Amino acid sequence: MPAVPIGVFDSGVGGLSVLRAIRRQLPAQPVIYLADQAHVPYGSRTLEEVRGFSEAITRYLLDQGARLIVVACNTASAAALHELRDRFPEVPFVGMEPAVKPAAEHTHTGVVGVIATPATFQGRLYASVVERFAHGVTILQDTVPGLVTAIENGQLDAPETRAILEAALEPMLAQNIDTVVLGCTHFPFVIPLIQQIAGPGVRVIDPAPAVARQTERLLETRGWRAEGESPAAVRYLTTGPRKPFEALLGRLIDAPDATAEKLRWSRANLRA
């Protein structure tokens, strides 16, 4: 039986932080990665709009042969995960939620910072995570305006990017946070900068490895896990311009020879 492909999507390059963890955990699993760069950033759009994109993307990935879908975007998970599971009941989905639980379990100061997009903070997924896990812990939130766009532009250590992060983190540090939860899949690409600003005493939580393990568990229960160490193919699709996306594949996940396929939105559907 040929190995079962999984579909992974995000508004842009953020989901590559999740893809990287999946490749480490499941090297032999073929992957189709879709970046909806025609619509990035998702975080300032309405939940309804992001839900429409997410449904169309899921449909496209399933048409291309994906059998399990990783919603490698906190914003799309907040907007659409529930509805995607309803609409495609036969498909296993793995979604993202801000890692408030491990942060609340391990904080010593009792103060935790969460950075995510406005849409993620508005969704009921985030409210339910805080309600269930943040007992007795103070949660400070910031939407870090401009950070997703800076990362999409490859400005991983530019002075402007540092200034954006300082504006978000310094008020939190002044209130004694000892943990920063990355509630957006773009943000792991600036962990070195975050760590420089916050100092070595602050723990930064990237949920990607946990998401990769959950993907593995779901594949295993269905007998779909591809065994072996030899790396399977990854198809990269983008709804934005191909060249800048390919350049970022080289920089962000060390895939300098990867080529991307261009997709187009036609009304509410995707086409090659």
Site residues, ligand DGL (CB under 6 A): 10-11, 14, 40-43, 73-75, 117, 120, 148, 184-186
Closest distance to ligand DGL from the beta carbon of 242 (Å): 19
Residue placing its CB nearer to ligand DGL in the complex, 43 or 113: 43
Helices (H), the chain: 16-25, 47-63, 74-87, 100-106, 118-122, 124-133, 147-152, 159-174, 191-198, 208-221, 242-253
Residue placing its CB nearer to ligand DGL in the complex, 73 or 202: 73
Closest distance to ligand DGL from the beta carbon of 74 (Å): 4
Residue placing its CB nearer to ligand DGL in the complex, 50 or 226: 50
Active site residue 93: no
Closest distance to ligand DGL from the beta carbon of 110 (Å): 26
Residue placing its CB nearer to ligand DGL in the complex, 25 or 143: 143
| Residue type for position 36 | D
| Residue type for position 228 | G
Could you tell me which residues come within 8 angstroms of residue 197 by beta carbon, excluding any fewer than 6 positions away? 162, 165, 166, 169, 170, 173
| Residue type for position 90 | E
φ, ψ of residue 214 in degrees (nearest 5)? -65, -40
Closest distance to ligand DGL from the beta carbon of 93 (Å): 15
Active site residue 184: yes
Sign of the dihedral defined by the CA atoms of residues 191, 192, 194, 195, in that order:
positive
φ, ψ of residue 104 in degrees (nearest 5)? -65, -35
Question: 196 vs 89, 107, 156, 170, 247, CA distance in Å?
Answer: 44, 19, 13, 12, 26
**Which one is catalytic: 40, 72, 73, 148?**
73
**Which one is catalytic: 81, 184, 190, 208?**
184
Which of the residues are catalytic? 73, 184
